[in-house]
């Protein structure tokens, strides 16, 4: 009987393309940037000692394993039921309180735990925000270039994504205004402007305060919500970035997405939405996943409250500043003739532009030298852009490897220009 039904099922389903049943998003989206798949990604090099500058992942040695272990043990031992039961739409209230208090200190805001929703990283935050506000064909304006993972997620919500160029001094307010006018003339509804104001992925740029103020005003006049992605905001090398969109606006018209991925560990899958009460009510209405792991919330609460997170972030700033400067020096010494280099003032990424060599060609020759990184065009919707750019992530490789980046890159350029 079991064999009978199996043969019937395999005959029916075997002849059928399940793609016919798939959603528009699944039908139309491309498979995405391989680096976004994390460790499962197969490196495009057979070099015995590859240097991978592709993914935005913290330095492996910095993960505070002892503190996390004691936080996890404390959660399970002292709160066995609470930490191992569905956490609900908001997440563990003491963790949200700890986050709200810390953000109030950093951002000079007046948040309480009810302004915080814990999520599966900032990616989880974004899905919640899109579910709450986006209808098919709504427009979302994004910076060009931007983080490819977010852009795909927005496209998955069936919104239309429209790019606005970002320069080293942020986006141009006049150009932004004109773009909005243009889109509105086509009778389209613009819901969001998605921005990474601090240590932008991929460019490393920081939006100046004047840009932030102009954008806030323009968005308010046009009832466009600003989605502020703060993934890298705390990781400045010397000076903190300007006040956040959220603090400048007291949260009016702004939803902020934050994450522990870049300051602690990506595998924690813990981030949070920060928003005014009226936004939170809408957001929690369309959250259906029963919350993310309460055990992780318990593990992080004492880490935040006892000051360990502050100390940890302080150490990350020093380490990443040093790592960035080692790599920049190596590239300047060896490849100064081949490219334009603007060192970032924080974050994870160095964005470069070759004078002559297209990055599509460069990444192949670099892979032969055991150097792995993405081309610039993966960060644009319009793939004809960024053809001479490429992005190097400097946080995960060792200092010794970073010293070698310029030497290997020089060899790659020489092969390209042979």
Ligand X SMILES: Cc1ncc(COP(=O)(O)O)c(C=O)c1O
**Identity of the residue, 334 or 377, whose beta carbon is nearer to ligand X in the bound complex:** 377
Angle ∠(103,107,108) on CA atoms, nearest 5: 100
Phi, psi of 152 (to 5 degrees): -65, -40
Residues linked to residue 340 through DSSP beta bridges, in sequence order: 353
- 227 is a contact residue toward ligand X (CB under 6 A): no
Closest distance of CB 202 from ligand X, Å? 8
Q: How do strand 271-274 and strand 254-259 relate by DSSP bridges?
A: antiparallel
Q: Which of 289, 307, 332, 348 is nearest to 64 (CA)?
A: 307
- 196 is a contact residue toward ligand X (CB under 6 A): yes
Between CA 231 and CA 259 the distance in angstroms is 6
Between CA 181 and CA 302 the distance in angstroms is 48
Choices 5-13, 17-25, 147-155, 367-375 (CB under 6 A): range interacting with ligand X: 147-155
State both tokens at 362: 């460069």
**Identity of the residue, 320 or 338, whose beta carbon is nearer to ligand X in the bound complex:** 320
- 330 is a contact residue toward ligand X (CB under 6 A): no
Site for ligand X in 105-134 (CB under 6 A): 121-123
Q: List the one residue from 266, 302, 334, 377 that touches ligand X (CB under 6 A).
A: 266
- 373 is a contact residue toward ligand X (CB under 6 A): no
- 261 is a contact residue toward ligand X (CB under 6 A): yes
Closest distance of CB 304 from ligand X, Å? 16
When computed from its CA atoms, the radius of gyration of the chain, rounded to whole angstroms, is 23
Determine the residue with CB nearest ligand X: 121
Choices 81-89, 143-151, 317-325, 379-387 (CB under 6 A): range interacting with ligand X: 143-151
Closest distance of CB 196 from ligand X, Å? 5
Beta strand ranges found along 128-183 (DSSP E): 139-144, 160-165
Nearby residues of 312 by Cβ (< 8 Å), 6 or more positions away: 62, 64, 263, 264, 303
Q: List the one residue from 33, 157, 201, 214 that touches ligand X (CB under 6 A).
A: 201
State both tokens at 274: 């920060």
- 56 is a contact residue toward ligand X (CB under 6 A): yes
Closest distance of CB 35 from ligand X, Å? 9
- 308 is a contact residue toward ligand X (CB under 6 A): no
Between CA 212 and CA 170 the distance in angstroms is 9
Residues listed for the chain: 418
**Identity of the residue, 150 or 396, whose beta carbon is nearer to ligand X in the bound complex:** 150
Q: List the one residue from 229, 234, 369, 404 that touches ligand X (CB under 6 A).
A: 229
Closest distance of CB 122 from ligand X, Å? 4
Conformational region of residue 347, where left means phi above 0, alpha means psi within -120 to 50, and beta covers everything else: left
- 293 is a contact residue toward ligand X (CB under 6 A): no
- 147 is a contact residue toward ligand X (CB under 6 A): yes
Residues linked to residue 393 through DSSP beta bridges, in sequence order: 349
Q: List the one residue from 144, 249, 259, 375 that touches ligand X (CB under 6 A).
A: 259
Task: Decide: helix, strand or coil at residue 382.
Answer: coil
* Contacting residues toward ligand X, per CB under 6 A: 56, 121-123, 147, 149-150, 196, 201, 229, 231, 259, 261, 266, 271
């Amino acid at each position: 009987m079991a064999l009978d039904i199996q043969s019937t099922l395999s005959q029916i389903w075997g002849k059928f393309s399940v793609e016919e049943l798939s959603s528009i998003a699944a039908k139309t989206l491309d498979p995405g940037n391989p680096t976004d798949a994390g460790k499962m990604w197969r490196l495009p090099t057979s070099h015995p000692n590859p240097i991978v500058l592709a993914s935005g992942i913290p330095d492996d040695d910095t993960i505070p394993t002892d503190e996390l272990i004691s936080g996890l043990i404390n959660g399970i031992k002292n709160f066995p039921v609470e930490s191992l039961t569905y956490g609900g739409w908001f997440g563990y209230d003491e963790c949200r309180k700890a986050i709200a208090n810390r953000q109030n200190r950093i951002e000079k805001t007046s948040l309480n735990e009810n302004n915080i929703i814990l999520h599966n990283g900032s990616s989880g935050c974004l899905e919640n925000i899109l579910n709450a506000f986006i209808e098919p064909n709504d427009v979302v304006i994004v910076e060009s270039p931007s983080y490819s993972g977010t852009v795909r997620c927005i496209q998955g919500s069936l919104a239309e994504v429209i790019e606005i160029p970002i320069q080293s001094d942020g986006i141009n307010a006049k150009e932004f205004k004109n773009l909005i006018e243009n889109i509105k003339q086509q009778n389209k509804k613009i819901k969001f402007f998605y921005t990474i104001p601090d240590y932008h992925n991929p460019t490393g740029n920081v939006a100046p305060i004047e840009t932030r103020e102009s954008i806030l005003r323009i968005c308010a006049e046009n009832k466009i919500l600003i989605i502020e992605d703060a993934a890298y905001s705390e990781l400045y090398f010397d000076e903190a970035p300007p006040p956040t969109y959220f603090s400048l606006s007291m949260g009016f018209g702004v939803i902020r997405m934050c994450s522990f991925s870049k300051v602690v560990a990506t595998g924690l899958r813990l981030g949070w939405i920060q928003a005014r009460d009226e936004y939170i009510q809408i957001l929690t209405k369309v959250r259906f996943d029963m919350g993310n792991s309460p055990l992780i919330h318990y593990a992080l609460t004492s880490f935040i409250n006892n000051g360990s997170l502050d100390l940890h972030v302080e150490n990350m700033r020093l380490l990443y500043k040093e790592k960035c400067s080692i790599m920049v020096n190596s590239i300047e010494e060896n490849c100064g003739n081949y490219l334009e280099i603007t060192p970032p003032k924080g974050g994870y990424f160095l964005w470069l532009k070759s004078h002559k060599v297209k990055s599509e060609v460069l990444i192949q020759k670099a892979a032969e030298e055991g150097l792995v990184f993405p081309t610039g065009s993966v960060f644009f919707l319009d793939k004809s852009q960024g053809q001479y750019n490429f992005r190097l992530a400097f946080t995960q490789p060792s200092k010794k490897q970073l010293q070698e980046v310029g030497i290997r890159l020089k060899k790659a350029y020489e092969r390209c220009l042979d």
